A and B are shown apart, each in its own frame.
Chain A
Amino acid sequence: MMKETINQQISALMDGELGDNEQQTAIDMLIDDKLAQKAWAEYHLIRHALQQSAQEKGSLSHRHKIQPFLHIPAANHSRWLATAAAVVVVFILWGIWHGAGNKSTANMPSLQAENVIVNVEHNSDNMLTAQNLTEIAPAMLQDSSTYYQQSYRYSVDMDGLKQVSYSFE
């Protein structure tokens, strides 16, 4: 089979646009053919890059929604950290609450900073940062809600997070 034909099959395969028989044939080809594997890898890399780029652009506008609510003085890191921790806790509680009965994220409401209630005591050991806040929360929303609790523990407790920093601009 010609390379173009093979790659066109791989392209349609990764889009889920092949019928059962065609899909079976394409997978057979993919498992056996190095060129098909190369196309599979390249096309998925491109997909990831495009989606990541779109996501980052979305994340920027998302950050703009959250920052005005926080009203953080540039020098007041500890107060900001407490607020950030509180916001993440509310995200998690919100996620667990929604996750209990519904694993689908399709109908989840968009994050609204106005919904956040700060009711968690200051804990300066939790080095949560603005970067964490704006990056982890969307990740949590995108993935199955059953993982919210694990993500939260990891975010707050893990020593590794302390190396992430945020620069106030």
Chain B
Amino acid sequence: MDENNDNRIDFALIERAKQNEPQAFNLLFVKYRHRLMRILSRFINDKSEIEDVAQETLIKAYKALPDFNYDSAFFSWLYRIAINTAHSYFRTKARHTHLSLSDLSVGEDNDNDDFLQQRLTDSSNPESIVMSQEIAQTIEKAMNTLPEKLKQAIILREIDGLSYEEIAQIASCPVGTVRSRIYHAREMIAQKIRPLLDNDESKRW
């Protein structure tokens, strides 16, 4: 995806989060958590330690959000926090230290504490942090069962990062058709992984 487009959406969500809408930050976290966990898993072998570092990263990022000044991509900013957190985590060997939730607040709304507590609870299971092999395999299998036009569209979008306009030119079809194909491809794959995801939607999402 074009980096400017990515920033445009991220910055819009950050703006909303700064306006005391913690759900907007949650959406950013959901967007990047798999990527963040994967990077951490390159450095840290132990799942519980990945979990600890990720939790602290989340808390620090949320706390520091008012200082985010839009001069870098959100993930670069988050990445820096994660690396620094990992570094200090191992330096101090403080495997079980967590910041006090009572110290944290983007605004003055105490609901934010509940939000953070919920996020920490959500990621308490290591299996929910690093994507399971089963999910990855299911997605790959689902890809192979997609109709060819849908498969082509989503590969060009997700792997090659092409815009709808570019895909439309390659596929010789209208942009609206590309939009529809990509959506249907995602939905067909999502249907396959839903049974593997947590049944308790209120907890996971």
- Chain A residues with CB under 8 Å of chain B are 7-8, 11-17, 23-24, 27, 30-31, 34, 37-54, 132, 135-136, 139, 143-144, 146-147, 150-151, 153-155, 158-161, 163-164
Q: A23-B9, A27-B9 are in contact. List 16 more A-B contacts (CB 8 A).
A: A12-B164, A12-B179, A12-B183, A14-B9, A15-B164, A17-B5, A24-B12, A46-B189, A50-B154, A132-B42, A139-B42, A154-B83, A158-B87, A159-B90, A160-B49, A164-B45
Known pairs A41-B205, A49-B136, A53-B140; A16 contacts B2 (CB<8 A): yes
A12–B163 CA distance with the chains assembled, in angstroms: 11
Query: What B residues does A150 contact at CB under 8 A?
Result: 80, 83-84, 87
Query: What B residues does A42 contact at CB under 8 A?
Result: 186, 190, 193-194, 197
Q: Is B159's beta carbon under 8 Å from chain A?
A: yes
A135–B41 CA distance with the chains assembled, in angstroms: 10
Known pairs A8-B183, A49-B135, A147-B79; A43 contacts B190 (CB<8 A): yes
Query: What B residues does A135 contact at CB under 8 A?
Result: 42
B205 pairs with A38, CB closer than 8 A: yes
Query: What A residues does B63 contact at CB under 8 A?
Result: none
Q: Is B76's beta carbon under 8 Å from chain A?
A: yes
Q: Is B64's beta carbon under 8 Å from chain A?
A: no
Known pairs A41-B205, A42-B194, A48-B131; A155 contacts B43 (CB<8 A): yes
Partner of A8 from B4, B21, B155, B180 at Cβ < 8 Å: B180
Nearest A residue to B93 via CB reads: A159
- Chain B residues with CB under 8 Å of chain A are 1-2, 4-6, 8-9, 12-13, 16, 21, 23-24, 27, 30-31, 34-35, 38-39, 42-46, 49, 72-73, 76, 79-80, 83-84, 86-87, 90, 131, 135-136, 139-140, 143, 154-155, 157-159, 163-164, 179-180, 182-183, 186-187, 189-190, 193-194, 197, 201-202, 204-205
Nearest A residue to B91 via CB reads: A158
A113–B183 CA distance with the chains assembled, in angstroms: 41
Min CB–CB distance B177 → chain A (angstroms): 12
